[in-house]
Amino acid sequence: MLHARAEEVEEIDEGLSALVHDMEDTMSAAPGVGLAAPQVGIPLRLFVYNWRDEEGVLHRGTAINPQLLVSPPPIGEADIDEDAEGCLSIPGERFPLLRSHTALLRAVDLDGKPYEILATGWLARIFQHEFDHLDGVLYADRLAEGQARLAQRAIRRHKWGVPDKSWLPGRDHLED
């Protein structure tokens, strides 16, 4: 499911609201800053995010049927510290990835209201990461060749991608 395009959300109802609240709890327990529905086995175009920036401003919300417009990504190599990214679908690993510095998110919230956010920096990265999940793309799929090999080794070492392999955020300890 992680490599398949998710389907549009057709109806915002109590079931979807319950899913969003469960996703928020899972994201918090992991801990993470974003979580897409396909990551919890639900093939819908929906993600949640919760991140506090350097100034202490909380960016939290639900993006239903999002559209994302991004600026061109920078040219060059990703910085191993500044551009390190992780994913709850590849838990315990971080790899450097260049992302666009600016992203415009257009989506609908849980109340059915359309909204738009112009994001920069890490918030733009979070939106790009979660939006990729809705199109069946993991951040490891976007890594430069050398980092991609390291990611694939880590995935094989942890046996991610094996049927019925799972972990519970906040409960299970990941071993190297």
Q: Is 116 considered catalytic here?
A: no
The total of other beta-carbon atoms located within 10 Å of residue 105's CB is 25
The reply, when asked if residue 129 is annotated as ligand binding, is yes
The reply, when asked if residue 59 is annotated as ligand binding, is no
Catalytic hit among 93, 130, 145, 175? 130
What is the rounded distance in angstroms from the CA atom of residue 79 to the CA atom of residue 93?
Answer: 16
What is the rounded distance in angstroms from the CA atom of residue 30 to the CA atom of residue 170?
Answer: 5
Inter-residue long-range contacts of 16-22, CB under 8 Å, 24+ positions, other chains counted = 16/46, 16/64, 16/110, 17/110, 19/44, 19/46, 20/46, 20/48, 20/62, 20/110
The total of other beta-carbon atoms located within 10 Å of residue 63's CB is 26
**Which DSSP string do the residues of 6-61 spell out, in sequence order?**
PBPP----HHHHHHHHHHHHHHHHTT-SEEEGGGGT--BSEEEEEEE-TTS-EEEE
Token pair belonging to 57: 């401003």
Binding residues for Fe cation: 87, 129, 133
Return the active site residues: 130
Binding residues: 87, 129, 133
